[in-house]
Amino acid sequence: MHNLTIDSDRLWQTIMETSAFGATLGGGIRRLTLAQEDRQVRDWFRAQCEAIGCTVKVDTVGNMFATRPGINKHALPIAIGSHLDTQPTGGKFDGILGVLAGLEVLRTLHDAGYETEHPLMLINWTNEEGARFAPAMLGSGAHSGVFDQAFTDSRTDTDGISFAEAIERIGYRGETPLGETRFAAMFELHIEQGPVLEREGLEIGIVTGVQAMRWYDLVITGREAHAGSTPMGMRCDALADAAAIILGTQEIARRLGGMATTGQLSIAAPSRNVIPGKLTMSLDLRHVTDTGLDALEIEVADLIQKQCGDRAMLQAIWNSPAVHFSATCIETVRRATKRLKASSREIVSGAGHDSVYISRVAPTAMIFIPCRDGLSHNPAESAEKYHCATGAQVLLESVLSHVASVPGR
Beta bridge pairs of residue 367: 189, 206
Torsional sign, CA 169, 171, 176, 182 = negative
Domain ranges of the chain: 8-211+322-405, 216-320
Query: Cβ distance 366 to 187 under 8 Å?
Result: yes
CATH of domain 216-320: 3.30.70.360
Pairing type for strands 259-261 and 278-287 reads: antiparallel
Q: Is 159 exposed, middle or buried (0-12, 13-18, 19+ CB in 10 A)?
A: exposed
Q: Which long-range contacts (CB under 8 A, 24 or more apart) does 17-21 make?
A: 18/44, 18/92, 18/96, 18/100, 19/92
Query: Cβ distance 352 to 137 under 8 Å?
Result: yes
pLDDT (0 to 100) of residue 247: 98
pLDDT (0 to 100) of residue 287: 97
pLDDT (0 to 100) of residue 408: 52
pLDDT (0 to 100) of residue 405: 67
Give the span between the Cα atoms of 238 and 387, in whole angstroms. 46
Compute how many other C-beta atoms are within 10 angstroms of the C-beta atom of residue 86: 30
Superfamily of domain 8-211+322-405: Zn peptidases (3.40.630.10)
DSSP 176: B
Phi first, then psi: what are they for 193, rounded to 5°? 65, 25
Query: Cβ distance 284 to 261 under 8 Å?
Result: yes
8-211+322-405 matches 216-320 in fold: no
- Nearest CA-CA partner of 320 in 188, 211, 207: 211
Query: What are the 10-residue block averages of pLDDT along the chain, 409 residues in total?
Result: 86 98 95 98 98 98 98 95 97 98 98 96 98 96 97 96 98 98 98 97 98 96 98 98 98 98 96 98 97 98 98 95 97 97 96 96 98 97 98 97 70
pLDDT (0 to 100) of residue 403: 81
